[in-house]
Structure 1
Amino acid sequence: MIRLAQLALLARLSGKVIRWQPLLGAFLLTAVVLAWPHDEPLTWKGTVWSLRVIAVLVTLAVVFVLDDVAAEVLAPVPVPLAARTGLRLGFALLCVTPVWGVSLLVLAPGMPAVWIWWSTVELAGLLAAGLAGAATLATRYGMREPGVAAAPGVVGGWLLLFVLPGPVAMFTLRPQDWTAAHLRWSLLLVAGLAVLIRMSRDPARR
C-alpha cells in the first residue's frame, strides 16, 4: 500500500523533473491565438477552428510530461508505475484545465453552445490518444523521452483527420454530422484511456 509520505515525496520530485517548457510554450502560443487581431469578427466556424488549434497545441505539450529523463532521481521512491504516471498527469491537468477554461470563455460567445461540449470532447480525445502513444513508447519500448517521438505522431494524426472521407470524418462542421463525428471522438477517447491505463500498470500486473 502506498504511504502518504511516499506520494508526497514523489510529487515533489516529479514536479522538479517534469518538462515544463513545452507546457509554457503551448500556453504562450494559446495566448497568441486568443489575442490574434482579426480584420473582421470570427465566424462561429473560425472560432471552432481556433479551439482546435489550441487543443492540438496543448496536446503536443502534454505528451512531454511522461518523459523520464531523471528516472534515477525517482527510483528511490518505491511506488507503482500507475501512481507515478497519475501524478504526472495530474500536474498536466492542473495546468491544462484553466487554460482551456479561459479559451472557452474568450471564444465561446461566438459559437453555438453545443460546441463548448463538442470542442472539449475533441480536446479530451486528442489528449488521451497522445498520452496513450507516449505511455506505450515509454513502457513497451523503454523510451526515456517518449514525448520527442509522440509529438510528431500527434501532429501526423491530427493532419490525418483532415483527409478522412465523409462517412468517417472527424473534423466536420455540418450540423447533420456533429453527433456521428463526436461519437467517433468519444471512441478515440475511450480507446486512448484504455491504452493509457494498461500502459500505466506495472508489467507483472498486465
Structure 2
Amino acid sequence: MPGLRGELAVVVCRTLPLGLVGAAGGTGLLMAALSRTTGEAGEWLALPLLRVAILAFAMGLVFLLDDPARHTTATVPTPRPVRIALRVALVVPVVAAWWTAALLLVPRELRPPVADITLEAGAAFVLAVATAVVAVRHSDIARPGPRLAAGLLTSAALVLLFWPKRWALLVPVEDERWAAAHDRWAVVLVGAVLVGVLGAGEPARRWSRPVVRGR
C-alpha cells in the first residue's frame, strides 16, 4: 500500500501545472519586491503591493486541478477526494515557501502585521483552490484554469470597486476597521474550506431519461 501511494504521488506530481504556478508566483514576488524601490511612498504602497502579489499567486493556484488526462484518470480506483487532497498536499510546501519569501521581500519597517496579512493570503489561496474544485466537479472541462483566472481577476476588481464599505475587507493598517475586516477574512477562509471539502466529493450521478425506441 505505501508503494502504491508513492507511485500515485509521482504520477500526480508529473501532472501538476508547476510552470503556471511558478510563473504566477514569480510575478507575485516581483510585486512584493517593488516595495523596496518605492522610496518614501513605500509606507502606503507596501500593503497594496503585497495584496497584488497574493492575487497573482492565487491566479496561479486556480490551475492546480487542470489535467489534460482528466477523463482518463476519472476511471481509476482512487477516489476523487484522495486525488484532489494529494494535489493540494504536494503544493502546500510550495505555497508556504512562496509566502515566506514574499513577506521577507517587504522591508521589516513596512511589513503589515504578519498574522493578519497571512490570514488574507490563506483565505485567497484556499478560495482559489476551492473554486477550482467546484469547477472540476460541475463541468467536464479538463483545463478550467484560464476561465477561473479571468473570473478571479474580474471578481477582485468588482470587490475593490463595489464591495460595501461597512463590510470592507481591503483596508489599510491604520484604519479602525482593520480588526473587523480580518474577522471577515476568517469567515471567508472557513467558508472556502467548507466549499472545497464539500466540492471534492464524487459528483452525483446524473439521471437520464430512458430512450424509447420506435417500434
TM > 0.5: yes
What is the correspondence of 1:102-117 to structure 2 with a 5 Å cutoff? 102-107=101-106, 109-111=108-110, 115-117=113-115
Q: Does 1:30 align with 2:21?
A: no
Structure whose CA Rg is larger: 2
Q: Does 1:15 align with 2:13?
A: yes
What is the correspondence of 1:67-86 to structure 2 with a 5 Å cutoff? 67-71=66-70, 74-75=73-74, 77-86=76-85
* Other-structure match for 2:3: 5
Q: Does 1:145 align with 2:140?
A: no
Q: Does 1:171 align with 2:190?
A: no
TM-score normalised over the length of structure 2: 0.84
Mean CA deviation greater in 85-94 or 68-77? 68-77
Q: CA deviation at 1:168?
A: 1.1
TM-score normalised over the length of structure 1: 0.88
- Counterpart Cα distance in 1 of 2:183 and 2:139: 31
- Alignment partner of 1:65: what SS? coil
Greater share of residues in helix: 1
Q: CA deviation at 1:155?
A: 0.7
Classify 1:128/1:47 alpha carbon distance in 2 versus 1 (closer, same or farther; 3 Å): same
Give the share of equivalent positions with the same residue, in percent. Answer: 23
In the alignment, structure 2 segments of 5+ residues that lack a partner are 205-215
- Deviation track 1:86-144 (CA, whole Å, cap 9, x = no partner) reads 1111222221111110111221502366x211111111111122222111110022321
Q: Does 1:124 align with 2:122?
A: yes
Q: How many residues align?
A: 202
Contact 2:46 2:111 in 1 (8 A): no
In the alignment, structure 1 segments of 5+ residues that lack a partner are none
